[in-house]
Structure 1
C-alpha cells in the first residue's frame, strides 16, 4: 500500500470512529476520557524516556542553530508538565456536555417546529510543532465533543507524541466505549500533503506552531483551517495606570513563559507617564534577562535601549525580547495595536474607566484585557479545560478554542405533514415564525 493510501485508510477509519464517538452518550465519552489520566501517569517513565530521546536530538539542533530556544522549551516534558496534562484531561472530562444543545427554537407554524442543535464537526487534523501537551489537549477536546482527530506532530516531538498516543490507546481500549481509531497519528512529513488533500474525510485542520507552519497550511488546503499565524501581543500602560501594577503585569506577561503565543511582545506607554514608568520598566525587564528595544522617545529616556527597527513592532519574539514604545494617548495606542498586532491578545492597564472601555471596545483582537496579564489567554485558565488552539479570525471560533469550537450545528425540523405548496400562491398559509425558548 502506498503512503498516500495508508494515510487515506487511516483517515477513513477516523471518519468511521467519529460517527461512533458522536453516537455515544455524554456519560460514556466523559468516562472514557477520565480513564486516560491514571494510565498516562502510570506510563510516566516511558513517556519521560521518549521525551529524553527527543530532547537529545533537540539539543544538537539547538547547538547547530537549527532550533530556537523557545521551541526547545516547548518540547520539554517533565513531571510537572505531565501532572498538568493529567489535570487538563480531568478538567475536559468534567466540562458540560457540548452536544445536543438547542441553540434556537422557532415555531414556523402550528405543528411545525425548527430547532438549531449543536453537533460534532467530524474529523479534525491537528498539525503541530514541539508541543507534547498538544497531543492530550487536542485529543481530549476532540473525544469529549464527539469528534475524531488525526495528529501530525513535528519530527522534533514525534517519539514523545507516539508514546502519548500509545498510552491513550491503552486507556481507551481498556474502557471500551470509544474506538482507538478516534485518536490517530501520522509521523511521516509526506503525510501532511495527503491529509490536507482529504477534504472528503477531514472536516477541519488545526495548525499549532510557527507563523510559517500556519500560513503554509492555510495556503495548501481547501479544508477549513482554524488557527493563528502569530502572537504579537501588546500591553498598553495608560496615563492612569497604577505604577506598580503596570510594572508587575509587564514583567509577568513577558517573563512568566516567553515562548507562549500569549506572551507580550510590545509594551506601549502613555507619554504623560513615560518618564516615570519606562526607566523602572526597562530595569525590571533586564533584571529578568529581557533584551529591550525601543522607539526614539523610549531611547531618550534610556539611551542604551536597542533602536527598534520597523519590523520589530510586528514581530513575535517568542523569547526574552521586548519592544517598548511611547504613544500620545489611548487613541494612539488603539491605532498602533490594530495596525501592528496579530489580533491575538492585547491589554490595557489603567484606572480610567473611559480609557479602558475605549480600548476594550475598539481593539480588534480575539482577547482584550483590562488590568490583567496577556498570559491569561488560555483555554485552561478560561475554564475550558484545555484548548484546541487560539483562533484570531472572525469566523466560527475566536480566542482560546474549547469544546464549543469543535461543534457546529444542524437544523432539525419536526412537522406534521406540512407541504411547501400550502405556503405559496394567492391563498398561501402564513408562517408564524414565533421564537420559542431554547430547551
Structure 2
C-alpha cells in the first residue's frame, strides 16, 4: 500500500512538470509575442519585446491556468491564460493592477480574491513554437544564476529585480537597460547586515562587485545564467551613419511606414456628413549616448503626412478614414541593420497627431498626441496604433482618437 502511494505521487509530479513545460516557447498574441521560459516552477520571459512576464501555473476549476504579472512601460497588471480545445491556442484576460505581486498569485487565498477581476480585455493567441527562447531582451535577469558567491535566484518585473542568494540573504535592485547595469542592495540573514552590489550585464553572464559600503570594494561578484535564454550582447561599437549613404560596408535595409487609417472615439455616434481634419506626422532618430541624429525619409519628404484645415477635411464613414496606398501617405527610411541589433543604439520613431471632427454645432477636438516607439517595436507589430488609448503601439480601448500605421521592410 505504501509503495502504491509513493508511485502515485511521483506520477502526479511528473505530469505537472510536463504540463508546465507546455508554456515554454513563443506565442503569437494580439498584443505582441510572448517568449516564455520555464525554470524551477516559474515561467518568465519577454512580452512584445518591450515588457516583462513573470508567472506560475495554478490549478483552476479542475484544470490549470498560467497566471502572472506583466509590465510594459508605465503599465503593470495581472493576466491569465488557458489552453483552448486546440492544443496550440490560448485564451485569457488581463487587467491593470499596480499593486499585484507574485506572492499574491502563489498564495491561494489571495489569488482567488485578486484574480476574480472584471475581464475588461481579452488576450488570446497561438503557439508558434516549443523552443525555449534564446533572444530575451527585456526580462533578462529572471531565473537562476550560478555565481562566485553561490546560487542567485532572481525575479524581474519591469526593471525591478528581487531575489535570494545561496539561501542566506535577499537582493533588491534596479536594472538600467541603457547602461546594462543592475544596481542595488543585499541583506545577509546571518550577519544581519545590508550591503551593496553592481552587476554589468553581458547577456548570459555578468561581472560585478559588492561591498558593505557604497564603494563596493569588498570583492567581485560574477555570474553565469543557468538557462541561456538572453540575446547575445553586441560589444563592438558601430560607426554612426549619416543621413546619406554610409561609406562603410555595414549593410542597411529600407523600411516603409505607411499611414493606414485614422479614427475618432467609438462613442461618437455616426452623423452623415461628419468629416475629419487636422495634422499627423512622424520623424525617425538614431539615438546613442552621444546624442540624437535625425534619419530623413527617402526623398526628404515632409514629416507631416497631412495638414488639413476644416475647409479641406477628410470625408469619412462612421468616424474613420482609410488612407489610399499612394506615395503621399508613405515614408521610406534607410536603417543600418547593425543599429537594430546594437543595444547601444536606439532607432526611435516619434509620431504625433491632432485630429478634429466636424459635427453639428461645436466640432469635436481630440487634442494633440505625441508618442515615441522604437523601430524594433514597430517592425515587430507591423500594424501600429498611436493615440491616448494606446500603449507601446497597441490600442487598449477605443475611447480616444488614434492613427494606425503599417511598417514593412522594402528590400526583402
TM-score normalised by the chain length of structure 1:
0.24
Which has a greater percent of strand? 2
- Whose helix fraction is larger, Structure 1's or Structure 2's? 1
TM-score between the two structures when normalised by the length of structure 2: 0.25
